[in-house]
Structure 1
Amino acid sequence: MADTTVKIDPAVRDRLMVLAREHGMTMRDYLAELVGATPTLEERRKRYEETKAYCETHFGVTLTDEDHDRVEKVWRELEAGEPVDSL
């Protein structure tokens, strides 16, 4: 496997090293695992469509675009530490 150099801020590099060590890994292996576990936008869209189809097939639940938008809003509020209305 060919190596590639990636330029990052020294603070980010140091944090990556700490995280890798805490997981008993090299930075290379830790980054590979992190990147491999992080889905792309297209992978998330596909997972959403598959989950939506599963819910419709197995639970008789039809999710609308408005339902999706509401859930996205709730997630943003939760991540921001804001109060959230019930779904």
Structure 2
Amino acid sequence: MATTTIKVDSEVRDRLAALARERGCTIGDLVRNLADTTPTRDELDARHRAAVEYIRGHLVPDFDESDVAAGRRLWDDLKAGKLTSI
């Protein structure tokens, strides 16, 4: 496999080196793992559509965008440490 060079500032390089060292791998392996495990926006959108279709098909036939929005608000509140009533 061919390799290439990416340009980053020295702070980023040093951080990547420290992260790679802690994980016992190379910077290249670290970047490859990031690329392999981080979904793209299209992949996230496809997961979202599949999840909504599953919910509609198996759990809540009338599940709609207002339910999705309520779920987002709940998740945001939980991340912010707020307890909300469902």
Instruction: Confirm or deny a common fold (TM above 0.5).
Output: yes
- Cα deviation code 1:2-48 (max 9, x no counterpart): 22111112111111111111111111011101111000010000001
Secondary structure of 1:3 counterpart = coil
TM-score by length of 2: 0.76
Note if 1:36 corresponds to 2:36.
yes
Note if 1:53 corresponds to 2:57.
no
Distance 1:71 1:9, change over 3 A: farther
RMSD: 2.1
Distance 1:82 1:62, change over 3 A: same
In structure 2, give the amino acid aligned to 1:31: V
TM-score by length of 1: 0.75
Which residue pairs with 2:65 in the alignment? 65
Secondary structure of 2:47 counterpart = helix
Q: Which runs of 5+ in 1 are unaligned?
A: none
Which residue pairs with 2:21 in the alignment? 21
Higher Cα radius of gyration: 2
Distance 1:27 1:54, change over 3 A: same
Shift of 1:67: 2.7
Shift of 1:74: 4.8
